Amino acid sequence: MSFFFLVPVYIRAKLELWFSSWSFSFKILWVIMHTGKVHVALVASPGMGHLIPVLELGKRLVSHHGISATIFVVTMDASLSRSQLLKVSGITDDFLDVVLLPAVDISARVDKTTGILRQMAMMVHEALPSLRSAILAMEVQPIALIVDMFATEAFVVAEEFMMFKYVFVTTNAWFLALTVHGPNLDKEVDQDDHINNQKPIHIPGCEPVRFVDCYEQFLRRNKVYFRMGTEISTADGILVNSFYDLEPLTLAALHDTRKVGLAPKAPVYPIGPLVRPVELSLRGEVLRWLDMQPKESVLYVSFGSGGTLSAKQTIELAWGLENSQQRFIWVVRPPVENDSAATVFKSNGVNNDFLDYLPEGFLNRTCKNGLVVPKWAPQTEILSHPSIGGFLSHCGWNSSLESIVNGVPMIVWPLYAEQKMNATVLAEHIGVATRSKLLAPKGVVGRDAIAAMIQKIMVDKEGEAIRAKVKMLKSCAVKAVSNGGSSYNALAIVAEECKIGMQRRNAKTG
Ligand code: UDP
């Protein structure tokens, strides 16, 4: 609780007036010095899929665990502004600051063949000097550095400043298990067996990872990915955006040192689901349209912040939606050939599309039943609306969790990164989604198969069972992050460690 509440109202009003004229960073410094709050720093690597959960983690540490936090954002988007981020994330707390590190430019060193992971690693590497200078310039240095899993290279900065090192895995525990287990596999025998002979990877205590599901960077033996796995293992703690009811087997294996467990060095803390809460200010035309639709009647279709389809696939999806005769909201992007992650690091900018890549007459024919939204939609707000009855998703982990916390069953359509693993978690491990066997990594899924999947989730008996399962998981998710829940308690342990660390540091420095 802010110390403001301890002083009489009229003095408080004066203080607030005086205080509001200060710059944000100076405010946070003043507050830290005068309240003795423990201060931590977080680093978000580029991409909305990382930024959104890191912002939520910062908010959670501040609002539930009495910590003050500064979030450093690595970006290549020079147009991204701090005020934009504060608005989108709904941050209003005096104990939480967001600092955009100077935009990095790696354009001269990348071409069409440079994968997302490599680009991300390059950007984080470029941002390290600014991160170092920013921390050095702080009068009260943070006790811990919490980086998302693609920014583990920043651990060198934490070591220089003798800070605790935590990693925040913004995806699921199964992917974490693969990542930390990967570097231990025998390079000659195990990896070859999987990559060349297409046998499943057996991670001790976890579901095996089938060849068809495996993360493509594992299959390519990407050095950056294996380095990440090794660096994660050096953390003082690993926070993962999951919870026990969602991944009981994998989380047990991650805790057990006879299986994948890295404790006591790097204990795993399931702290999820952390998802962006609904912002009333984002209520607009789409939400008003939803208000007029019957309960659980609308399918939401989106491929995340960066997913794209080919021209042929876009046309088939349009026909599939139309032929299914179900209501829908479709967030569309202009088609891109042979690159399903084409817009991952691109700003979504202004919606100036002409939508001329959709089948002729599609918009007219579907205007009663469907809404087409170019590029970006207020997803959390849409998924929480009672009219939503299903989500056709690329299975980015944030989207998956947002669906679960709103009790919305999914159709999984993985595109890139670890999404095939996410799809398997959702459809097979926990049964909150349906998938089509036709969704092979290459090739086009036809309109009939798409209409059949939609029918299955929105109308058929099978869909009802999936809906019941996801609703049950929704209540487990709410419990996990509520005061006293397993995820709440796991984050409380991390916060406590930081507090004890701060006391020790203060005792040393007198
Ligand atoms: N998102 C959104 N509107 C959109 C597309 C995406 O608000 O039109 C948000 C979505 O709610 C999620 C994030 O962007 O929080 C995407 O993260 P995810 O992990 O699902 O996928 P990624 O974009 O990283 O592949």
Ligand 1 site, residue 304, Cβ cutoff 6 A? yes
| 238, β-bridge pairs | 167, 268
67-88 pLDDT, tens digit each = 999 999 999 888 888 888 877 7
Please choose from 287, 305, 347 the residue to mutate so as to test ligand 1's pocket, defined by most ligand atoms within 8 A of CB: 305
Reported pTM = 0.91
Ligand 1 site, residue 305, Cβ cutoff 6 A? yes
The CA 359 to ligand 1 mean position distance, Å, reads 26
> For ligand 1, what atom is nearest to the CA of residue 417?
25
Ligand 1 site, residue 233, Cβ cutoff 6 A? no
CATH no., domain 285-475: 3.40.50.2000
Pair 395, 412: CB distance under 8 Å:
yes
Please give the span between the terminal C-alpha atoms of the chain, in angstroms, as a whole number: 27
| Closest C-alpha to ligand 1, atom 24 | 49
Helix (H, G, I), strand (E, B) or coil at 434: strand
CA–CA gap between residue 510 and residue 504 (Å, rounded): 10
| Closest C-alpha to ligand 1, atom 21 | 396
96-131 pLDDT, tens digit each = 999 999 999 999 999 888 888 999 999 999 999 999
Lowest mean pLDDT among 21-35, 50-64, 335-349: 21-35
Q: What integer pLDDT is reported at residue 31 of this predicted model?
A: 55
The CA 378 to ligand 1 mean position distance, Å, reads 9
Q: What integer pLDDT is reported at residue 37 of this predicted model?
A: 82
> For ligand 1, what atom is nearest to the CA of residue 395?
20
Ligand 1 site, residue 397, Cβ cutoff 6 A? yes
Please state the rounded mean pLDDT for residues 364-382. 96
> For ligand 1, what atom is nearest to the CA of residue 305?
23
CA–CA gap between residue 372 and residue 374 (Å, rounded): 6
Ligand 1 site, residue 487, Cβ cutoff 6 A? no
Q: How far is CA 504 from the centre of its chain?
A: 33
Pair 332, 373: CB distance under 8 Å:
yes
Q: What integer pLDDT is reported at residue 393 of this predicted model?
A: 98
Candidates 65, 97, 148, 213; catalytic one: 148
**What distances in angstroms separate CA 388 from CA 235, 299, 359, 460, one per listed residue?**
40, 6, 25, 16
Q: In the predicted model, what is the mean pLDDT of the chain?
A: 89
Q: Which helix (H) or strand (E) holds 44?
A: strand 38-44
Task: Give the range with max mean pLDDT: 305-314, 346-355, 487-496.
Answer: 487-496
Pair 253, 261: CB distance under 8 Å:
yes
DSSP codes joined into one string, 140-168: S--SEEEEEGGGGGGHHHHHHTT-EEEEE
Q: In the chain, what percentage of residues exceed pLDDT 90? A: 73
The CA 413 to ligand 1 mean position distance, Å, reads 14
Q: What integer pLDDT is reported at residue 80 of this predicted model?
A: 83
Pair 419, 395: CB distance under 8 Å:
yes
Ligand 1 site, residue 396, Cβ cutoff 6 A? yes
The CA 303 to ligand 1 mean position distance, Å, reads 8
Reported in sequence order, the residue ranges of 249-397 that DSSP labels E, i.e. its strands, are 268-270, 298-302, 327-332, 370-374, 388-393
In degrees, rounded to 5, the angle at the alpha carbon of residue 128 between the alpha carbons of residues 76 and 241 is: 75
Lowest mean pLDDT among 110-124, 225-239, 396-410, 415-429: 110-124
Ligand 1 site, residue 376, Cβ cutoff 6 A? yes
Ligand 1 site, residue 302, Cβ cutoff 6 A? yes
The CA 379 to ligand 1 mean position distance, Å, reads 7
Concerning whether 50 is annotated as a catalytic residue, the answer is: yes
The CA 138 to ligand 1 mean position distance, Å, reads 32
CATH 3.40.50.2000 fits 36-170, yes or no: yes
Ligand 1 site, residue 282, Cβ cutoff 6 A? no
Ligand 1 site, residue 398, Cβ cutoff 6 A? yes
> For ligand 1, what atom is nearest to the CA of residue 377?
8
> For ligand 1, what atom is nearest to the CA of residue 52?
15
Q: What integer pLDDT is reported at residue 346 of this predicted model?
A: 61
The CA 399 to ligand 1 mean position distance, Å, reads 6
| CATH class of the domain at 173-270 | alpha beta
261-291 pLDDT, tens digit each = 988 889 999 999 999 999 887 789 999 999 9
Judge residue 352's burial from the number of C-beta atoms within 10 Å of its C-beta, 0-12 exposed, 13-18 middle, 19 or more buried. exposed
> For ligand 1, what atom is nearest to the CA of residue 331?
8
CA–CA gap between residue 405 and residue 275 (Å, rounded): 8
DSSP codes joined into one string, 164-190: EEEEEE-S-HHHHHHHHHGGGS-TTTH
On the question of pLDDT at 494 being above 80, the answer is yes
Ligand 1 site, residue 273, Cβ cutoff 6 A? no
Q: Where in the chain is the domain with CATH 3.40.50.2000?
A: 36-170, 173-270, 285-475
Concerning whether 194 is annotated as a catalytic residue, the answer is: no
